[in-house]
Structure 1
Amino acid sequence: MADRKELAVELKHNGHNCCQAVLVAFADKVDYTEDELRKMGASFGIGMGCMEATCGALIGAQILLGLIKFDGKPVIREAGELYKEFEAKCGAGTCKILKGIETGKVLCECDDCVRNAVEILEKHIGE
């Protein structure tokens, strides 16, 4: 896929939450339809619906990591690496911290969280 990062951002701007955008951008890599992926990610927009939890884009990347890499053995180590890389690149892993809700300082805009989640996942799946 030419530029999966920009596809994910385009999806985000056209009716998908951050998690769904990341999931659907990788539809060609998993055995789920786009509709099933949208359903899978429906509850994970804006940090699980309340900004208090993990960024939806990061959740999407973690779900895909499991769907793509799981072969009967845990992918915990890689999941931890993916999280740490996202946190280092974006400044945090929690939605409200990324958006500066309490500090007034945005660490990473949603579009960039989506781009970064896609880029980091691509690295982990060998794309």
Structure 2
Amino acid sequence: MAKEAAGRLFRKGLNCAQSVFAAHSEMTGISVTDSLKITTGFGAGMAMMQKTCGAVAGAYMVIGAKYGRVNPDDEKARDKTYGLIEEFNRRFIELHGSLDCRELMGVDLKTKEGAEEAEQGAYFEKKCGSYVDDAEKILDELL
């Protein structure tokens, strides 16, 4: 199951986006290696910018890989993709209150104080691990 795979990848030290997207490599047809490369820059809210949560971004890519359009005239595929992402967002926000990494973490990782607090409090393991798990749970329900 993808949820367990994502959790394993995350516990190995891969970022949130990598863990969510690579866990679905069989479904997407993109190798684990390529999935990990593609999503490297999405961790910690887009390369440590603390914007959209990487687990959320990884989930968007999974949904797009399964339902996204390749033809600009394929409005049905676009609408299905947008609808699933909208529902994913609703459920994730219901659980965590935000899609924004900085809000979810509660610290600014770009400051020395914020980075130290996150490190000392094991925020990545505790908080981000739950975001990866919940992103996977929501994906399992939607896909």
Scaled by the length of structure 2, the TM-score of the pair is 0.76
Q: Tell which structure's C-alpha radius of gyration is larger.
A: 2
Residue 130 of structure 2: aligned partner: 112
What residue ranges of structure 1 are gaps of 5+ in the alignment?
A: none
Q: CA deviation at 1:69?
A: 1.7
Residue 64 of structure 1: aligned partner: 62
* 1:49-60 matches, cutoff 5 A: 49-60=47-58
Q: What is the alpha-carbon distance in structure 1 between the residues aligned to residue 6 and residue 92 of structure 2?
A: 16
Identity of aligned residues (%): 29
Scaled by the length of structure 1, the TM-score of the pair is 0.85
> Which structure has more helix as a fraction of its residues?
2
The amino acid across from 1:123 in the alignment is: E
* 1:1-20 matches, cutoff 5 A: 1=1, 4-20=2-18
Q: CA deviation at 1:91?
A: 2.0
Q: CA deviation at 1:51?
A: 4.1
Q: CA deviation at 1:98?
A: 0.4
**Aligned: 1:83 with 2:99:** no
Q: CA deviation at 1:83?
A: 1.2
Q: What is the alpha-carbon distance in structure 1 between the residues aligned to residue 67 and residue 141 of structure 2?
A: 12
**Aligned: 1:38 with 2:36:** yes
CA RMSD of aligned residues (A): 1.9
Q: What is the alpha-carbon distance in structure 1 between the residues aligned to residue 4 and residue 139 of structure 2?
A: 14
Q: What is the alpha-carbon distance in structure 2 between the residues aligned to residue 28 and residue 42 of structure 1?
A: 19
Runs of 4 or more consecutive aligned structure 1 residues displaced over 4 Å after TM superposition = none
